Chains A and B, each alone.
Chain A
Amino acid sequence: MPVQVLRDRNSGKVAVVTLGATKEEGGTRSHTIKVGGEASLPFLHFEGENPYRPVIAMEVVDRVPEEWNSELKKVFADVYADPAAWAKKCVEEWGADMIFLRLQSADPELGNSSAEKCVQTVKSVLSAVGVPLAVVGCGIDEIDNTVIAAVAEACAGENLLLGFARQENYNTIVAACMVHKHTVIAQSPLDINMCKQLNILITEMGLPLDRIIIDPSIGGLGYGIEYSYSIQERGRLGALQGDKMLAMPVLGTIGFEAWKAKEANVSAEEFPGWGEQAERGILWEAVTATALLQAGMDILVMRHPEAVKLVKKNIDELMVPSAL
């Protein structure tokens, strides 16, 4: 008996956002990356186009990450004193699609780097790799407004992905993106209404709809992941129903959240039933990532290369068109 496949008809789709800029476009990237464009719920290829595969941005920090656990630090020990070398290794050895550079050292407690120094760091990473680059600040508004603005100006034309714009502090970074032609990460605190409102505020300043990436905030596995899943799901459904203010590709700081978890950090001696810490941490990050892939995440910011490998395999399989 033939089965009639019920397909949803969607009136909208997610916008396509281009990251990076080649020489012809005013930048120095060897290639650009496109994300978004989905016309169905995640990976339902039979129902609508899912034209661009989700990408993995590996996280590079501009200071030695003392607070990371020893297993994680071990992987980067030969490069983590030099962001450019770290970025190069991420791309060449571990296949990162993008680099996500966190200028943590601008924080007065963590290095107090000047804006000029941060600009130099960004430039050195740009020289080391050909993939598109995301750059975020240290998390302190007054400092980030100066630092990110300086980075935006010095790297005009590169179409960096700059973060984070939040409802409390978005003017400076959005203006910098507009003037120097970059793309912005709009971050909201696990609140779909604020997510939508922030996108409206940003577009009212004049930034086009296809130069915004949404960071809805995520909780790691076991620490609120289902809440972020359901928010992403609502956002995607809204986009498919024609809500242009929610129709942006989504980014998640997977590594940042997953490696906070106790489960990713404690040793096997402390919790014998939990198995070896290295493998456990890798899986904690990989499962956080793959769960949120199902919610439609487009840019996954990750740390451990083994987790990256697992997630890439998952993406390969999910991007095979369904035979319906």
Chain B
Amino acid sequence: MEIIGERINGMFKDIREAIKNKDKKPVQEWAVKQTENGATWLDVNTGASAEDQVEAMKWLVTTIQEVVDTPLSLDSTNYDVIEEGLKLCKRPALINSCHADRYKIERVFPMAVKYNAKVIGLAMSEESGIPKNAENRVALAAELVAAADEFGLPLEDLYIDPLILPVNVAQDHMVEAMETLRQAKLLSDPAPKTVVGLSNVSQRCANRKLINRTALVMLMACGLDAAIADACDDDLMEAAATARVLLNKEIYCDSYVDLFKARKY
């Protein structure tokens, strides 16, 4: 189960200030903290308010790589910003993300192949927005899978995101996302990987952490491989570790939780 630590994001005040003042400390502390708690990837997002997005991305990537070896997930809607970040990444990175729009695919997939990066492909398009049901999501996922094949991106390097929405306002979407995951795994052999932005499911809800970890376990049972989530949420990490054992993906041992978090093994 790959956890993409979500904390280094300019929408958080401390990161926003750090980027503005070129203050490495908060960024590096979060990089270390998320890694130590078991994050497989660190998401890097400059936030919308950063003046010079390219400079901000470059600064974040360099700053993080000073203190951890954890691979990075570069999170931006601007693909030039992502490319500048990719140039500085010491390890193969994850491009977060690409919609199922042809012109975006044409910009992102060749870039991914060039920089040996992986891609989060969203099962949505500008035209259709977030599809209402599983069937329409799967159709867009199929386009992304075909594109991977076309551009030479290995299928295990494509992470399909079935898109989950806050349960208080879009309660019917979780079930559709679960079905999308199941079907996405049948799209090809080898199958693409799958990912969600987990915290979305509990936006502005009560019991956010409870909703997050319950959703994670349910999605894992449908074939979820990765989640952009709060890597410092111990209960979440413990639930993920436990789900892996229950799904027979990891041989049980008494220290299975610590082992999942340790990651250095």
Q: Which residues of A contact B (CB under 8 A)?
A: 9, 192-194, 196-197, 200-201, 203, 209, 234-235, 238, 243-246
Contact in complex: B265, A197 (CB < 8 Å): no
Nearest 10 interchain pairs by C-beta = A196-B253, A197-B253, A244-B265, A200-B255, A193-B252, A197-B254, A238-B251, A193-B253, A196-B251, A192-B251
Docked complex Cα distance between A246 and B254 (Å): 14
The 23 sampled A-B contact pairs (Cβ below 8 Å) are A9-B190, A193-B253, A193-B254, A194-B253, A196-B251, A196-B252, A197-B253, A197-B254, A200-B253, A200-B255, A200-B258, A200-B259, A201-B255, A203-B265, A209-B265, A234-B251, A235-B251, A243-B250, A243-B251, A244-B265, A245-B253, A245-B259, A246-B251
Nearest CB of chain A from residue B156's CB, rounded to whole Å: 9
What is the chain B residue whose CB lies nearest that of A235? B251
Which B residue's beta carbon lies closest to that of A241? B249
Residue in B closest to A247 when the chains form the complex, CB atoms: B265
Tell me the B residues contacting A by CB distance below 8 Å: 190, 250-255, 258-259, 265
Which A-chain residue is minimally distant from B251 (CB atoms)? A238
Residue of A whose beta carbon sits closest to that of B258: A200
CB-defined contacts of B265 to chain A, threshold 8 Å: 203, 209, 244-245
For residue A201, which residues in chain B have a CB less than 8 angstroms away from its CB? Answer: 255
Distance to closest chain B CB from A232 (angstroms): 13
Taking the nearest CB of chain B, how far is it from the CB of A135, in angstroms? Answer: 28
Instruction: Kindly state the separation between the CA atoms of A250 and B190 in the bound complex, as whole angstroms.
Output: 31
Q: Which of A192, A196, A201, A234 has the most CB of B within 10 A?
A: A196
State how many angstroms separate the Cβ of A210 from the closest Cβ of chain B: 13
Could you tell me the distance between the alpha carbons of A243 and B253 in the complex, rounded to whole angstroms?
12
Q: What separation, in Å, do the CA atoms of A180 and B255 have in the docked complex?
A: 28
- Distance in Å from the Cβ of B201 to the closest Cβ of chain A? 28
B interface, over-half SS: loop
Is A197 a contact of B255 with CB atoms below 8 Å?
yes
Q: How far is the CA of A234 from the CA of B254 in the complex (A)?
A: 17
Across-interface contacts of A193 in B (CB, < 8 A): 251-254
CB distance from A199 to the nearest CB of B (A): 8
Nearest CB of B to A244, in Å: 4
Taking the closest CB of chain B, its distance from the CB of A190, in whole angstroms, is 14
Complex CA–CA separation, A200 to B250 (angstroms): 14
**Chain A residues in 8 Å Cβ range of B251:** 192-193, 196, 234-235, 238, 243, 246
Q: Which residues of A contact B258 (CB under 8 A)?
A: 200
Which residue on A lies nearest to B254, using beta carbons?
Answer: A197
Least CB separation from A11: chain B residue: B156
Chain B neighbourhood of A9, CB < 8 A: 190
Q: Closest Cβ of chain B: how far from A201's Cβ, in Å?
A: 8
Contacts of A200 in B (CB 8 A): 253, 255, 258-259
Distance in angstroms between the alpha carbons of A290 and B173 in the assembled complex: 55
Q: How far is the CB of B242 from chain A (nearest CB, A)?
A: 15
Tell me, rounded to whole Å, the shortest Cβ–Cβ distance linking A273 to chain B.
43
Beyond the given pairs A200-B259, A235-B251, 4 more chain A to chain B contacts, judged by CB atoms under 8 angstroms and listed by A's residue number, are A197-B254, A203-B265, A238-B251, A245-B253
Q: Which residue of B lies closest to A197 (CB)?
A: B253
- Measured in the bound complex, the distance between the Cα atoms of B251 and A5 in whole Å is 29
Assembled-state Cα–Cα distance A103/B259 (Å): 35
CB distance from B237 to the nearest CB of A (A): 17
CA distance A197 to B250 in the complex (A): 13
A42 to B265, CA, bound (A): 23
Q: How far is the CB of A259 from chain B (nearest CB, A)?
A: 31
Chain A contacts for B253, CB-based, 8 A: 193-194, 196-197, 200, 245
Q: Who on chain A is nearest to B245 by CB?
A: A193
Complex Cα spacing A201 to B253, Å: 11
Bound Cα distance from A194 to B251, whole angstroms: 10
**Chain B nearest CB, measured from A242 CB (Å):** 10
In the bound assembly, the distance between CA atoms of A286 and B252 in angstroms comes to 33
Neighbouring A residues of B255 by C-beta, 8 Å? 197, 200-201
**Complexed CA–CA distance, A234 and B253 (Å):** 13
CB proximity of B189 to chain A, nearest CB, Å: 10
For A197, the chain B residues whose CB sits under 8 A away are 253-255
Which of B251, B252, B254, B258 has the most chain A CB atoms inside 10 A of its CB? B251
Residue of B190, B250, B253, B258 with most chain A CB atoms under a 10 A cut-off: B253
Docked Cα-Cα span, A194 to B255, in Å, equals 10
Complex CA distance for A9 and B190, rounded to whole angstroms: 10
Nearest CB on A from B13, distance (A):
38
Chain A residues lying within 8 Å of B190, measured Cβ to Cβ, are 9
A194 cross-chain contacts in B, Cβ below 8 A: 253
Question: Which residues of the partner chain A approach B254 to less than 8 Å between Cβ atoms?
Answer: 193, 197
> Most chain-A Cβ atoms within 10 A of its Cβ — which of B250, B258, B265?
B265
A203 to B265, CA, bound (A): 10
Distance of A209 Cα from B254 Cα, bound (Å): 19
The answer for the CA separation of A218 and B251 in the assembled complex, in Å, is: 20
A238 to B251, CA, bound (A): 7
Kindly provide the distance from the CB of A235 to the nearest chain B CB, expressed in whole angstroms. 8
> Chain B's nearest CB lies how many Å from the CB of A241?
8
Shortest distance in angstroms between B157's beta carbon and chain A's nearest beta carbon? Answer: 13
